[in-house]
Amino acid sequence: MTVFRTILALSLFVNLAPLALAQPKPPVPKPTPTPTQSLSLSDMLENRLRGVVTVEVMDRSNNPRGFFGIGQNPAVKPKIDAFRKSVFLTDAESTGSGFVIRRNGELYIVTNCHVVEKANDESEEAIYVSSLTGERYRMKLVGADTIRDIAVLKFEDRPGKEFQELAFRSAGVRVGERVYALGTPLGKFPSSVTEGIVSGLNRQVNSTSSGYIQSSALLSPGNSGGPLIDARGAVVGVNTRSGGKSGNNQLSFSLHSTLAQRTVEEIIAQGRVRRGSLGLEITSASLLGKSAFVISSVLPGTPEPVRKRLEGNILTHVQGIRLSNSFELFAILDQIHPGEEVKLQVEDDKKQVQEVALRASELTDERLAELVRPYLKSLGIEASETTGKIQLKISEAPRGEAAFVVVSGGKSQPSERIPAQMVPVAAGWLDDDDDDHVLYPLQGLRSLHLIVRRMAVEGRLMLAADEGEKSVGVLGLQARVGIIPIQTVLH
């Protein structure tokens, strides 16, 4: 889909054992359960359902928050009617599922980011959860991470005693292992259980995160955020989505417990996920069905000998994993911790292979800005901030193409003129063929940098400005070298 076609699209989840009857003497002895059979399957499921909740968003904003992987950004009230079309990873619009965990003596709810993403920040009555017994509790958001689609909620008031906390499983799961998805499908059927097997591991279900379990346990809208548990009741994954564009409901995906637990722990500890950064710009282009990853630049501060061994060379492996596409590369790098040593394998123009070790820094706001500015400049954009507003200077893009349209009254009018300046109020991407993307409200350069880094993996970006009288000016950018589309991983 071209930039123009895409921009035109804007115009539019008791125990059942019966009491034993009196028996004639001598009594029949009860079987002694083995350690692995201490509970029946029904006993185990009923116990775990006490830790599963229905998440209700009672007061919604028309614009989602722009978490985008570093931390929260304040919500912005909708300013432009065109943004009302915005959608993001939507399995459920106003309800979802979640489950209870205990940390530091307190109970928390784990759910999906997309379940609570549109909750109104300015309302104290925005998010509630309902327990198995029907009790409702007002919640507040501790933090969330869009890239891994995880959010953590905290009780505003003391939770009741009906809850049974669940625990993450530390060991990996195996293909063929029996699993159970718990949640509230369609927001109408609480305490529902579906059964399946693990169908695949380490799946990538969106463009920036991997580490998902594929299972045949049926997920429906409203199951989002509920737990996927094993036969002993341990949480092996957080249910995220089903079917995808294929519409095949037997394709269900859950973020693996190891990655989910790590994300939850960081959110509880500091409200966000701490990410590593190698200071690299890695450009990917596909030719004849093969992708090449060129390290196009290295941030200042990297030792000169290391820089010379990296810059301009082709990256083939990260931590021993051979790369296949830019989305996989982003997902692999996203799991790197600050301070971790990362082994990169590169190949120079003489086909000589060498291994280079880099220690990751933390992806702070300052380092993020250093990464994003050169990329924006390559698209013909220079961004600054004045009195809380982002100011853009727009020039001819060294690499890429641009298109500008004005949307007014539900109609799009392409313009032959690209404005020299712009004050954007939202950024991201809208595409009729892709439900995973959305325009996000902007508040300052930091929010712009977060969104640009995310959209660079797609090789495309939209910037929207308020043109007055309910009109929206939209600048669409696509990164290209000649006619070849390129994607960029900023790490």
Do β-strands 106-111 and 95-103 pair in parallel, antiparallel, or remain unpaired? antiparallel
User: Which pLDDT tens digit goes with each residue over 451-476?
Assistant: 899 889 889 999 998 887 778 889 99
Buried b (16+ CB within 10 A) or exposed e, 422-451: bebbbbbbbbeeeebbbbbbbbebbbbbbb
Per-residue pLDDT 10s for the chain (491 aa) are: 455 445 444 443 223 233 232 333 334 344 444 444 467 999 999 999 999 999 988 766 655 444 443 333 333 332 222 222 222 222 234 688 999 999 999 999 999 988 887 777 666 678 889 888 888 899 999 988 888 889 999 999 899 899 999 999 988 889 999 999 999 888 788 888 999 999 988 887 766 677 888 999 988 888 889 999 999 999 999 998 776 544 455 688 899 999 999 999 999 998 888 889 999 999 988 766 677 899 999 998 888 888 889 998 999 999 998 988 888 888 889 889 999 999 999 988 888 899 999 999 999 999 999 999 999 999 999 999 988 789 999 998 888 889 898 888 777 788 888 999 999 988 988 765 555 557 788 888 988 998 899 889 889 999 998 887 778 889 999 998 888 889 999 99
Q: For residue 102, list its beta bridge partners.
A: 107
114 is catalytic: yes
* Cα gap 83→81, rounded to integer Å: 5
Q: Which residue is catalytic, options 91, 149, 230, 334? A: 149
> Shortest CA distance to 11 belongs to which of 404, 412, 433?
412
> Shortest CA distance to 71 belongs to which of 19, 15, 141, 24?
141
Token pair recorded at residue 304: 């000169």
Q: Which domains does the chain possess?
A: 47-155 (2.40.10.10), 178-264 (2.40.10.10), 284-362 (2.30.42.10), 365-490 (no CATH)
**Cα Rg, the chain, nearest whole Å:** 25
CB 478 within 8 A of CB 3: yes
pTM over 0.85: no
Q: Which residue is catalytic, options 224, 284, 297, 412? A: 224
Residues 6+ apart with CB under 8 A from 345: 315, 316, 317, 318, 320, 353, 354, 355, 356
Q: At what angle do helices 365-378 and 444-456 cross, to 10 degrees?
A: 60
Q: Which residue is catalytic, options 61, 86, 91, 114? A: 114
pLDDT above 70 as % of the chain: 79
Q: Diameter of the chain by CA atoms?
A: 96
